[in-house]
Amino acid sequence: MRKPSAPPSYVPHCAHYVSYVLTVLDRLVPAGTRCALIGAPLNSNVGDSAIWLGQRALLDALGADVRYACDLMSYDAGQLAACLPDGPIMLTGGGTLGDLWEDSQLLREQVLRDFPDRRIVQLPQSVHFTDHANLTRARRVFDAHPDLTLLLRDRHSLHRCRAVFEAPSLLAPDLAFAVPPDALTGGTIAHDVIWLAREDKESAKGPPAGRGTARKERGGPYVFDWTREGEDTDWRRAKEALWRSRARALCRAASGDPPGAVPALLAAYDGLARLQLACGCRLLAAGRVTVTDRLHGHVLALLLGLPHVLLADRYGKARSYWDTWPTHRPPTTEWAWTEAEARQRAGALLAGLRPERRGELREKPHRTRTRHRTGTVPGD
């Protein structure tokens, strides 16, 4: 078996995650493979954008050639067959395989039904089903496919899938660790503590300062969720331009040239993901310490070298990931079960920053933080 090459660029202090997932994927994606990639993100969840960019970098490193790509709204089995008469189909990694996000799960199942003769690889996911009927339906579809492989990013999900599904299940880290460093932008330090708090069904108790627009509690952290759209005019114009590029590529595909549309479509997907990720990085970099119940808040904080506290979410996804990958975590990374514990641990991290840095940042709260390619802050 050939030794997979590392992506041309990645954050060195997270290289162990990249090496691990490359070793797993190398068994499934031989060099020069022509493949399809299903599920490009169009939402405002920064984590999904990070995963997409990581997937793209890893497939490039493996020598794979993406001949078809689609998002949740643009999947077309006929176009996929025209672009890729044979070859594996990769289902994007991400949030949760199961019925928490039903549209994504239904798309997975449809692809499995449409292509029973192809190798299909579900890229790393967590797993959670709330309704047994949905699990039964998924088991029926998954077990009927003769060449499906499931990659799971935590041991709880791995054991669950091995107990429920017949398809081979393998452990692999989250693909966001392969994000190219040039997509990880810096930002301006404006707050002592920021709190990236989920406002969706996976939130354990809701943001600590209540729901609504980002706000600063008196004497407390700056609270926000990164699924809210940015207000910067240039950012919105750039996003609208990329959406138009996507629409033109889809029109070309529908007009009878799906293979010719793929490069422009991939460029639009990549551009949207980079734009969304840059926004998320700026938000995270605005705090000297971060608290979050978002798994990809934790992943991006590791990539950026930010002191942070990971807090429990509603369904245990964050804790399962935390327990699965205990090595290589820096001492500036903490776990908390409750809001009160998260506040205490964030305060301790804040107090532990170098005194000269604390004074410097108080005097210059809007200094731009610039990072090296390693993702660390100069002087830290």
Phi, psi of 369 (to 5 degrees): -90, 120
Average pLDDT rounded to a whole number, residues 221-248: 87
**Among candidate residues 179, 149, 144, 156, the one with its CA nearest the CA of residue 17:** 179
Average pLDDT rounded to a whole number, residues 36-55: 95
Give the pLDDT score at 302. Answer: 96
Examine the pLDDT at 109 and tell me if it is beyond 90.
Answer: yes
Distance CA 299, CA 316 (A): 16
pLDDT-derived band at 379, boundaries 50, 70, 90: very low
Give the pLDDT score at 102. Answer: 85
What six digits make up the tokens of 17? 């995650």
CB 294 within 8 A of CB 282: no
Distance CA 35, CA 68 (A): 7
Average pLDDT rounded to a whole number, residues 289-297: 95
pLDDT-derived band at 137, boundaries 50, 70, 90: very high
Distance CA 310, CA 246 (A): 35
Which residues does 123 contact at the CB level (< 8 Å), separation at least 6? 55, 90, 91, 92, 93, 94, 151, 172, 175
CB 45 within 8 A of CB 176: no
Q: At 54, which helix (H) or strand (E)?
A: helix 46-61
Bridge pairing between strands 222-224 and 287-292: unpaired
pLDDT-derived band at 2, boundaries 50, 70, 90: low
Distance CA 19, CA 177 (A): 10
In the chain, which ranges are E strands? 34-40, 65-71, 89-91, 96-98, 120-128, 148-152, 169-171, 187-188, 191-196, 215-216, 222-224, 287-292, 308-311, 333-336, 368-369
Amino acid at 99: D
